[in-house]
Copies of this chain bind each other. A is one copy, B any other.
Amino acid sequence: MKLQTAIDRLTLEEAVAKARLLDGQTDIIEMGTSLVKDYGNEAIRQFRQAVQKSTLLVDEKTIDEGAYEFRQGFENGADILTVMGAASKATLATCYEVAQTYHKTMMIDLMEVSAEKLQQIADFDDAIYCLHHSTDRKDVMNPSDTVAEFHQQLPHIKRLAIAGGIDLAGAKALAEQGLTEIVIVGSKIMKAADITAAVQSFKEVL
């Protein structure tokens, strides 16, 4: 199982310093949406320079203009880009096509996607489907229950990721379950006193 560490809501200078520190420590470094929105493509280019060993995911959260945003994201250095499952099927299809052309990866963020919509967008073979609990919601999810339920509904989806308040116990339960490819951790690592030690703890349980 892979660990994705999300860097968010920092100045670009601080964020790039963290990315440099975590390069090679975590499997995937996520440049969070706040950095996309605050700094644009310049942030992707600086992250690409800092991230040489880990995979670089940019949490673009595309919801329209799929071809434009995905081309910009890959041209500026991303390995994986996110698109919202709530986007139109046409947007998802165009993002997938661009990702395939660049030999890169599309991750579908399933936040607020209905069961009905999910059925319509479940056919992107190489895409990673990310179960995502909105940070604005006050309720808490149990990650392994969420994965189990999803897997029961759509057993043919091979590549699964999960994000949203995941702690060490949650990560351990996901590792034991063995259905998830990527566990995404944000504040539980980035707000730790020693972030490299926190990454190490997560790597050990995964």
Contact = CB atoms under 8 A, between A and B. Distances in A.
Interface of A: 9, 33-34, 36-43, 60-61, 63-69, 72, 84, 86-88, 90-91, 94, 111-112, 114, 134-138
A87 B64 contact: no
Copies of this chain: 2
A88 B41 contact: no
B135 A112 contact: no
Contacts of A138: 90
Contact of A33 (B64, B90, B135): B64
23 contacts: A33-B65, A34-B72, A36-B37, A37-B37, A37-B69, A38-B40, A38-B72, A39-B42, A61-B63, A61-B64, A63-B63, A63-B84, A63-B86, A63-B112, A64-B134, A64-B136, A65-B135, A65-B136, A66-B136, A88-B111, A88-B134, A90-B137, A94-B136
Contact of A84 (B34, B68, B86, B135): B86
A136 B90 CA distance: 6
Contacts of A135: 64-65
A203 to B, nearest CB: 27
A43 B39 CA distance: 9
B34 A111 contact: no
A163 B42 CA distance: 29
B40 A91 contact: no
Contacts of A41: 37-39
Contact of A34 (B63, B65, B114, B136): B65
Given A37-B60, A37-B72, A88-B111, 19 more contacts: A33-B65, A37-B40, A37-B41, A37-B69, A38-B41, A39-B41, A40-B42, A63-B86, A64-B111, A64-B134, A66-B136, A84-B86, A86-B112, A87-B136, A88-B136, A90-B134, A90-B137, A90-B138, A91-B136
Given A37-B60, A63-B61, A112 B134 contact: no
